[in-house]
Structure 1
């Protein structure tokens, strides 16, 4: 009798803890596609001169960190403020292009991207560099939680 009771208890516990409706983790290929789409959306926003929409790809948190030539910036709003100060209009923003992208899933909830960026800015001079992005899957979407651009 005890083995049957134990078996029924284990089966009931398993039924309560597993849900057929639960979302399975993304595959590495799905993660790469989602992050590549995020970067494409950011690029399109930047190239329209829309910094606010570009920033939607970043974690809206005081814990966001941006590392650039001027040092460390913590927080979503200070990062947005820096972008607006350094790129005050569409001409200064130029046209952004990412290349040599390497999107690497680091697990179901984290990934990083290494690549190059290039801004074409006629009359102002082009800018370019490399970057490392750290992303997390938060609230159902991928967001940049750390950006080291040089």
Structure 2
């Protein structure tokens, strides 16, 4: 009887863990979907809602390392001054990997369809759960 109870307890714990992981993964996928929708509307501020609004946010791109949410926002605005320059953004998630209960890694591709020529590259995102919400705390895009 003890073995059955122990087995049931283990199965319940596994199911709870899988459900939590599924919810976390879905939350992160929703954030990325909202980001691309905001981008495609020409709304950089809306796009930035997926990022941790903190001076410790790290963005690594072709111009090097940028610290801080406001600095990252300003760089986006400088590089993409209007909706035409922004184009239409598509994300393709290659891998979403839980690192712990508080961190998730996302590897993917981004593609901008623009009249002036398409752009594309890859990204690695580090998501952190802060006050029960997921935010990008590090973005390495190339």
**TM class, shorter-length:** 0.7 to 0.9
Please give the residue correspondences for 1:70-89 in structure 2 after superposition, counting only pairs within 5 Å: 70-89=63-82
CA displacement at 1:97 relative to structure 2: 0.2
Q: Does the alignment pair 1:125 with 2:117?
A: yes
Q: Distance in 2 between matches of 1:140 and 1:110?
A: 12
SS of the residue 1:107 aligns to = coil
Q: Distance in 2 between matches of 1:105 and 1:28?
A: 8
Q: Does the alignment pair 1:106 with 2:99?
A: yes
Correspondent of 1:137 among 121, 125, 129: 129
Q: Is the 2:93–2:106 Cα contact (8 Å) retained in structure 1?
A: no
Partner of 1:149: 141
**Unaligned regions of 5+ residues in structure 2, if any?**
1-15
Q: Distance in 1 between matches of 2:78 and 2:141?
A: 17
Correspondent of 2:62 among 45, 62, 69: 69
**Unaligned regions of 5+ residues in structure 1, if any?**
1-23
Partner of 1:6: none
CA displacement at 1:61 relative to structure 2: 0.5
Q: Distance in 1 between matches of 2:69 and 2:38?
A: 17
The runs of at least 4 consecutive aligned structure 1 residues that moved more than 2 Å come to none
Partner of 1:45: 38
1:13-40 deviation line (CA, Å, top 9, x unaligned): xxxxxxxxxxx87621111111000000
CA displacement at 1:85 relative to structure 2: 0.1
SS of the residue 1:96 aligns to = strand
Q: Which has the higher helix share?
A: 2
TM, length-normalised to structure 1: 0.81
Count of residue correspondences: 126
